[in-house]
């Protein structure tokens, strides 16, 4: 999911350079890009742009974009895991390492927030769900093919119901940080979700997400120690140290990471 282009294409170019093209596909949504232009990263596989949906931060439109992405990518039967990243993300490992970590477990991967963060923010969802089913979670998630199938089976019904509910809500309620987990709970899939980090983000300052001027080994270690696979938020001008770029070129265990635990 990008506004126009990926912030640090040099990282992703290295990441995909030696990746087996049968092991991935790239679908993306862009807010501000000409339909004739492709995504600004190199890979052996074509980047597939889905139709644009007008989006706003904190709005239900972001969940609709994510729904659209899994809808299009599900049509490729080779896709068994669905990984969401943004333009300000970079990987924390090389392609083969992330591929192995994603597939070594059978569950979807969603990092849930503390229960005290759910209500009263999501009280309105009680009009459609049982209170015990409602959760808050990180936006950046990994879904199994089974769970994408479950979500798409009644996609249009739930989009209609939630868009109708959304018309009654005046404040920003960040549905992309609640609806996937809540819907999977509603469909009885709780036991097949691992409560694990996908993308590291620094919310030390509760009012805004930290962005980085420099990515070095210390930052990579900090994010890996949280069990995460990706990092955000980088900027186009973020400096990526050369020794960090090396980790995307080969299997490199210079850090004892909790991600393997």
What is the tens place of the pLDDT at every residue in 25-55? Answer: 999 999 876 655 679 999 999 899 999 999 9
Answer whether residue 256 shows pLDDT above 50: no
What pLDDT shows up at residue 87?
96
Decide if pLDDT at 257 tops 50: no
Percent share of the chain, pLDDT over 90: 88
Distances from the Cα of 187 to the Cαs of 32, 113, 121, 180, 222, in angstroms? 35, 20, 22, 11, 35
pLDDT of residue 11: 97
Residues of the chain with pLDDT > 70, as a percent, come to: 93
What are 142-168's pLDDT values in tens digits? 999 999 999 999 999 999 999 999 999
Identify the pLDDT of residue 196: 97
Task: Answer yes or no: are the C-beta atoms of 212 and 238 closer than 8 Å.
Answer: yes
Average pLDDT over residues 64-86: 98
pLDDT score recorded for residue 40:
93
Give the model's confidence band at 253: pLDDT under 50 very low, under 70 low, under 90 confident, else very high.
Answer: very low
259: closest CA among 92, 137, 81, 138?
92
pLDDT of residue 215 exceeding 90, the answer is yes
Mean pLDDT for the stretch of residues 74-78 = 97
Mean confidence (pLDDT) of the chain: 92
Listed in sequence order, the residues at least 6 apart from 243 whose beta carbon sits closer than 8 Å to its beta carbon are 216, 217
Compute CA distances 52 → 6, 34, 55, 260, whole Å: 17, 11, 9, 37
Per-residue pLDDT at 261 exceeds 60: no
As a whole number, mean pLDDT of residues 90-110 equals: 97
- Higher-confidence residue of 249 and 157: namely 157
């Amino acid at each position: 999911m990008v506004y126009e282009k990926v912030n640090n294409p040099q990282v992703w170019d290295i990441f995909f350079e030696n990746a087996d093209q049968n092991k991935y596909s790239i679908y993306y949504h862009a807010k501000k890009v000409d339909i004739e232009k492709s995504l600004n990263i190199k890979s052996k596989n074509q980047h597939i742009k889905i139709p644009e949906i007008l989006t706003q931060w904190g709005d239900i439109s972001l969940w609709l974009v994510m729904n659209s992405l899994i809808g299009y990518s599900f049509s490729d039967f080779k896709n068994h895991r669905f990984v969401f990243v943004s333009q300000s993300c970079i990987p924390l490992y090389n392609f083969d390492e992330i591929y192995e970590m994603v597939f070594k477990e059978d569950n979807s991967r969603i990092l849930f927030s503390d229960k005290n963060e759910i209500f009263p923010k999501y009280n309105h969802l009680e009009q459609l769900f049982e209170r015990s089913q409602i959760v808050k979670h990180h936006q950046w998630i990994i879904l199994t093919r089974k769970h994408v199938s479950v979500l798409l089976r009644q996609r249009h019904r739930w989009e209609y119901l939630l868009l109708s509910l959304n018309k009654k809500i005046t404040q920003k309620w960040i549905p992309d940080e609640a609806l996937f987990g809540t819907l999977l709970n509603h469909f009885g899939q709780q036991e097949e979700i691992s409560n694990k980090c996908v993308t590291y983000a620094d919310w030390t300052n509760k009012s805004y997400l930290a962005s980085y001027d420099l990515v070095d080994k210390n930052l990579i270690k900090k994010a890996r120690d949280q069990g995460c696979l990706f990092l955000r938020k980088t900027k186009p001008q973020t400096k990526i140290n050369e020794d960090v770029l090396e980790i995307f070129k080969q299997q490199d265990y210079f850090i004892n990471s909790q991600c393997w635990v």
